[in-house]
Amino acid sequence: MEFISDELDEYCVAHTSTENEILSKLNRETHAKVLQPRMLSGHFQGRFLSMLSHMIRPMNILEIGTYTGYSALCLAEGLQENGKLLTIDVNEELEDFVRSFFNQSPLKDKIEFRIGNALEIIPTLTQTFDLVFIDADKLNYDKYYDLVFDKVRQGGYIISDNVLWSGKVADPSKKDKDTVSIRAFNQKLHDDPRTENILLPIRDGLIVVRKL
């Protein structure tokens, strides 16, 4: 996921607002105690997600893929006063860890955390979402997008993470199933006449879609 030099990355982080104490602790403990800590959004991307959320001022946010809860806490910062964020993850083993950090946050009453299969849960949801963040299993990105699209308000946003896949999507010689799937997903979103989109080389790539 390293697309720029360490020195330039450190400079960007140094000139980005700091993460709060809970996020800093969550960052440290994820790296110390949880497998695959590179899945964490982290300081720089987390501040970007928070900034977007503050700009959008959502009432309802849906997150698909919680991991250890870092991105959920960042996105929840921009919620309206009575706003809610629903985050879904299939990993039961991390539930206690995640809930412990949500419970430490002043935003805890705005966050609903569900363990389960998002493909089964999303069709049961009746909310209209202002913002959706997709950061789960890459092979199902296409399905998640289709399931949530009609639940997003006109003018609402769908953000998908890891869409550069360590740069593999731009290399035609890379043909593993995850790379092929994400490459097709990016093209599908780019070709969707119902939206406008921008792909940003932030961390492992974020594609931001606005529903027209």
Neighbours of 80 (CB within 10 A): 13
Q: Mean pLDDT check: name the lowest of 24-38, 52-66, 94-108, 159-173.
A: 24-38
CA distance 72 to 53: 11
Structure confidence at residue 2 as a pLDDT band (50, 70, 90): low
Angle, vertex CA 147, rays to CA 144 and CA 150, nearest 5? 130
Burial class for 96, CB neighbours closer than 10 Å (0-12, 13-18, 19+): exposed
pLDDT at 1: 57
Q: Average pLDDT, stretch 155-172?
A: 94
Mean pLDDT of 15-35: 93
Q: Write down the pLDDT at residue 184.
A: 96
Q: Which of 193, 142, 192 is nearest to 163 (CA)?
A: 142
CA–CA gap between residue 66 and residue 23 (Å, rounded): 14
For residues 146 and 173, what is the distance between their CA atoms, to the nearest angstrom?
Answer: 28
3-state secondary structure at position 200: strand
Please tell me the predicted confidence (pLDDT) of residue 145: 98
Structure tokens at 51: 């900034």
The H or E element spanning position 135 is: none
Q: What is the pLDDT of residue 39?
A: 76
Q: Which CATH superfamily is domain 6-211 in?
A: Vaccinia Virus protein VP39 (3.40.50.150)
Q: What is the phi-psi region of residue 57: left when phi exceeds 0, alpha when psi lies from -120 to 50, beta otherwise?
A: left
pLDDT at 203: 86
pLDDT tens digit string along 102-138?
Answer: 999 999 999 999 999 999 999 999 999 999 999 999 9
Percent of the chain with pLDDT over 90: 88
Reported as half-sphere exposure (CB side, CA atoms, 13 A), residue 98 has a value of 24
Angle between helices 95-104 and 21-33 (to 10 degrees): 160
126 or 9: which carries more pLDDT confidence?
126
- pLDDT of 174 strictly over 80: yes
> What is the sign of the dihedral through the CA atoms of 65, 67, 73 and 74?
negative
pLDDT band at 22 (very low <50, low <70, confident <90, very high): very high
Exposure of 190 by Cβ count < 10 A (0-12 exposed, 13-18 middle, 19+ buried)? middle
- Average pLDDT value for residue range 2-7: 78
pLDDT-derived band at 29 (thresholds 50, 70, 90) equals: very high
pLDDT 10s digits, 184-194? 999 999 999 99
Tally DSSP H helices, then E strands, for the chain: 8, 7
